[in-house]
């Protein structure tokens, strides 16, 4: 079964050509917006295009030529978008940087990619000025803010009244080098061409019905490929507006959502868990009458579902969504990591129009998407247009490595031919390193990472992500990592779990038991009880036999994935609590 598309695409084009076309087609439509201290800053497509061309001329005057690299780094804001587009309009290659990396990590990337110019948020300008002398290729640092430390975008626009002409950029030309954060501890530069990126944008456009009048709420980091492709270039391709969140603080997000009333929002599972968890905490704190009413509505929603399908939760919980700023939401797309089934189910029970996508940096990134007309909760959807998916070396259950082919598959890893050969086959298939299977209708399901799979002595395969997804359904478990360990007493292999508890819910539990200061043993007993209860849903060989607690969150990549490689050692070396 192929993806049931909403419409035809607009054709593949370079990023500069896309910007020019959108500016001509949607000139007076809102393109970018962000709430500030003095109200909203708004830019139409015509204004954005004019600014980008003027900034690009300055970049060219500073020596940025065709194929030269320039970096953009900062929080989500209109200036980030302007800088990124200006790099492309000047004929350059964009190297987005993660603002949360250390100066040492920035230095490595800038050196490896031979970056000539950095356009940075004012908060970080001094760091780049400090390392500039140590880097042979870095010649200029430009600030997004007028803070006096470096030339600013504002000062450039005050001097440059004319813009650069559209560059002679080809579809096969390099557009972006993305340095992956990875959960394996290695960082590689993913080379994406204009064809890679814009074919993916065109495919997304065919799958989701949006256009002028729609508002994309931008909350995921722009340096990450999911937000850059699906939350930035995709709305610009179709004439929609982008509204940037001021910050990730709960109060700011709530206010921005209420003022923005978005129609499209990209999220990651961690954000969805927080939204769902916050809502459920409020319900638990509510009066008995309100709680009863909520569960009555929830029950009614389930009872009516066979008759009204997805209409029932949309109707019954409309007021709750409107209160949170989600009243106009038509699409909420989760990506970046596997979505726990309980989270997806919980959001859909409340009437959220939740879809799930799957992809990687190396595929620009989207490979599959759940069709809005028939989502399957446990599936990451069907291949989007132009993409082929197959399972390599499937086992008796049909589970094997997921391979993908299409115009969105990367050119390769920058300066790393060996790593490129490991993942790109001669006939054009990209080996994702993810394990999964395809059902009879063509829907793809993820089971875990190839490198994470645990093989027991009896030859059984255990996918840690499957076990973790089950355990995360406990309100007392915030994060969990499942590993193969060694029993320190018997020396036998066993499945073990490291848990970071949800201490707020744990404290509430013991408060109800009139125990204000629970000991570590008390908490461990509660978590062990939860693991035992939930593990009954799993085959005996998959159940964790030993549990340890963490007092703080797991270290994560910038895309909020736990750095599993830091913990993949015999359990007795990790230590117990």
What is the band of 371 on the pLDDT scale with cuts at 50, 70, 90?
very high
- Inform me whether the pLDDT recorded for 577 exceeds 50: no
pLDDT at 574: 37
HEC per residue, 61-100: HCCCCCCCEEEEECCCCHHHHHHHHHHHHCCCEEEECCCC
Give the single-character DSSP code of 139.
-
Rounded to a whole number of angstroms, the CA Rg of the chain reads: 25
Q: Count of CB atoms within 10 A of residue 62's CB?
A: 17
- Quick one: how many helices (H) and strands (E) in the chain? 20, 26
pLDDT at 179: 94
pLDDT tens for 81-125 read 999 999 999 999 999 999 988 899 899 999 999 999 999 999 999
DSSP codes of every residue in 385-404: TT-EEEEES--TTS-EEEEE
Percent of all residues in the chain with a pLDDT value above 70, rounded to a whole number: 90
pLDDT tens for 525-563 read 999 999 999 999 998 889 999 999 999 999 987 777 788
pLDDT at 110: 96
pLDDT at 324: 83
Q: Are 196 and 408 in contact (CB under 8 A)?
A: yes
Cα-Cα-Cα-Cα dihedral sign, residues 504, 509, 511, 516: negative
Domains and CATH numbers, the chain: 454-574 (3.30.300.30)
- C-alpha–C-alpha distance, residues 226 and 321, integer Å: 25
Per the prediction, the chain carries an average pLDDT of 90
Strands 39-44 and 93-96: unpaired
Q: Which of 216, 226, 221 is nearest to 257 (CA)?
A: 216
Query: CB-side exposure of 362: number of CA atoms within 13 Å?
Result: 22
Low-confidence winner among 48-62, 274-288, 512-526 (lowest mean pLDDT): 274-288
pLDDT at 449: 85
pLDDT at 571: 43
pLDDT tens for 257-303 read 999 999 999 999 888 988 887 677 666 666 676 567 666 666 655 56
- Inform me whether the pLDDT recorded for 575 exceeds 50: no
Q: Are 268 and 560 in contact (CB under 8 A)?
A: yes
- C-alpha–C-alpha distance, residues 291 and 410, integer Å: 50
Q: Which of 225, 167, 153 is nearest to 559 (CA)?
A: 225
pLDDT at 323: 81
Q: What contacts 260, CB < 8 A, 6 or more positions away?
A: 33, 215, 217, 243, 325
- Inform me whether the pLDDT recorded for 494 exceeds 50: yes
Q: Count of CB atoms within 10 A of residue 100's CB?
A: 12
pLDDT at 373: 87
pLDDT at 159: 98
Residue ranges of E strands in 188-281: 189-193, 215-218, 241-244, 264-267
Helix H or strand E segment including 332: strand 331-334
Record the tokens describing residue 35, joined without a space: 């709430």
- C-alpha–C-alpha distance, residues 12 and 3, integer Å: 19
- Inform me whether the pLDDT recorded for 183 exceeds 50: no
pLDDT at 256: 94
Q: Which of 508, 503, 469 is nearest to 282 (CA)?
A: 508
**Could you give the C-alpha distances from 485 to 221, 490, 491, 548, in angstroms and in order?**
35, 12, 9, 12
3-state secondary structure (DSSP) of residue 342: helix
- Inform me whether the pLDDT recorded for 473 exceeds 80: yes
pLDDT tens for 428-471 read 999 999 999 999 999 999 988 888 888 776 667 788 988 998 99
- C-alpha–C-alpha distance, residues 521 and 106, integer Å: 43
Q: Are 225 and 361 in contact (CB under 8 A)?
A: yes
Record the tokens describing residue 132, joined without a space: 């500039």
pLDDT at 310: 53
- C-alpha–C-alpha distance, residues 3 and 364, integer Å: 18
pLDDT tens for 330-359 read 999 999 887 888 888 888 888 899 999 999
Q: Are 534 and 471 in contact (CB under 8 A)?
A: yes
Cα-Cα-Cα-Cα dihedral sign, residues 455, 459, 462, 463: positive
Output 385 or 566, whichever has higher pLDDT.
385
- C-alpha–C-alpha distance, residues 158 and 357, integer Å: 42
pLDDT at 1: 78
Please, is 461 exposed, middle or buried when counting C-beta atoms within 10 Å of its C-beta (0-12, 13-18, 19+)?
A: middle
- C-alpha–C-alpha distance, residues 446 and 458, integer Å: 23
Output 488 or 373, whichever has higher pLDDT.
373
Query: CB-side exposure of 333: number of CA atoms within 13 Å?
Result: 29
pLDDT at 492: 72
Strands 174-179 and 30-36: unpaired
Buried b (16+ CB within 10 A) or exposed e, 201-234: bbbbbbbbebeeebbbbbbbbbbbbbbbbbbbbb
3-state secondary structure (DSSP) of residue 432: strand
pLDDT tens for 216-262 read 999 999 999 999 999 999 999 999 999 999 998 888 998 999 999 99
pLDDT at 289: 66
- Inform me whether the pLDDT recorded for 513 exceeds 60: yes
Q: Are 181 and 402 in contact (CB under 8 A)?
A: no
- Inform me whether the pLDDT recorded for 4 exceeds 60: yes
What is the band of 147 on the pLDDT scale with cuts at 50, 70, 90?
confident
pLDDT at 346: 86
pLDDT tens for 382-430 read 999 999 999 999 999 999 999 999 999 999 999 999 999 999 999 999 9
Please, is 180 exposed, middle or buried when counting C-beta atoms within 10 Å of its C-beta (0-12, 13-18, 19+)?
A: buried
**Could you give the C-alpha distances from 216 to 73, 166, 248, 350, 385, in angstroms and in order?**
21, 27, 16, 21, 22
């Amino acid at each position: 079964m192929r993806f049931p598309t909403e419409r035809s695409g607009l054709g593949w084009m370079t990023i500069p050509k896309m910007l020019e076309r959108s500016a001509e087609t949607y000139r007076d439509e809102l393109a970018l917006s962000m709430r500030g201290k003095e109200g909203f800053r708004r830019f139409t497509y015509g204004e954005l295009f004019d600014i980008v061309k003027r900034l690009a001329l300055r970049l060219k005057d500073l020596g940025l030529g065709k194929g030269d690299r320039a970096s953009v780094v900062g929080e989500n804001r209109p200036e980030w978008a302007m800088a990124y587009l200006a790099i492309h309009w000047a004929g350059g290659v964009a190297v987005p940087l993660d603002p949360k990396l250390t100066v040492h990590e920035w230095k490595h990337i800038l050196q490896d990619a031979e970056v000539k110019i950095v356009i940075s948020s004012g908060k970080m300008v001094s760091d780049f000025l400090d390392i500039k002398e140590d880097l042979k290729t870095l010649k200029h640092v430009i600030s997004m803010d007028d803070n006096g430390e470096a030339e600013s975008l504002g000062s450039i626009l005050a001097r440059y009244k004319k813009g650069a002409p559209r560059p002679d950029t080809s579809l096969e030309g390099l557009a972006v080098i993305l340095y992956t954060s990875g959960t394996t501890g290695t960082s590689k530069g993913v080379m994406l061409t204009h064809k890679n990126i814009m074919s993916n944008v065109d495919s997304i456009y065919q799958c989701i019905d949006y256009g002028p009048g729609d508002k994309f709420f931008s909350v995921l980091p722009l340096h990450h490929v999911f937000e850059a492709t699906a939350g930035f270039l995709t709305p610009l391709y179709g004439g929609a507006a982008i509204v940037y969140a001021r910050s990730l603080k709960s109060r700011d997000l709530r206010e921005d959502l209420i003022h923005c009333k978005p129609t499209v929002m990209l999220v990651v599972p961690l954000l969805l868990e927080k939204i769902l968890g916050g809502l459920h905490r409020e319900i638990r704190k509510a009066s008995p009458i309100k709680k009863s009413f909520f569960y009555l509505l929830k029950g009614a929603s389930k009872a009516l579902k066979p008759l009204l399908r997805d209409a029932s939760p949309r109707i019954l919980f409309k007021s709750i969504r409107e209160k949170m700023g989600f009243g106009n939401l038509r699409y909420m797309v989760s990506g970046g990591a596997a979505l726990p089934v309980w989270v997806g189910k919980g959001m859909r029970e409340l009437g959220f129009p939740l879809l799930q996508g799957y992809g990687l940096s190396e595929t620009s990134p989207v490979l599959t998407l759940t069709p809005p007309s028939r989502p399957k909760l446990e599936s990451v959807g069907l291949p989007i247009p132009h993409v082929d998916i197959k399972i390599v070396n499937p086992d008796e259950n049909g589970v094997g490595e997921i391979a993908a082919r299409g115009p969105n598959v990367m050119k390769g890893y920058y300066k790393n031919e060996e790593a490129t050969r490991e993942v790109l086959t001669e006939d054009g298939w990209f080996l994702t390193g993810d394990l999964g299977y395809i059902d009879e209708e063509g829907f793809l399901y993820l089971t875990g990472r190839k490198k994470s799979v645990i093989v027991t002595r009896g030859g059984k395969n255990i996918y840690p992500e499957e076990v973790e997804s089950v355990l995360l359904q406990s309100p007392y478990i915030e994060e969990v990592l499942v590993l193969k360990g060694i029993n320190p007493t018997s020396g036998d292999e066993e499945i073990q779990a490291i848990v970071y508890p949800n201490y707020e819910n744990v404290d509430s539990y013991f408060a109800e038991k009139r125990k204000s200061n629970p000991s570590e043993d008390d908490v461990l007993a509660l978590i062990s009880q939860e693991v035992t209860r939930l593990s009954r849903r799993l085959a005996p060989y998959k159940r964790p036999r030993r549990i340890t607690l963490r007092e703080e969150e797991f270290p994560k990549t910038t895309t909020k994935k736990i750095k599993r490689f830091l913990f993949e050692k015999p359990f007795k070396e990790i230590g117990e609590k």
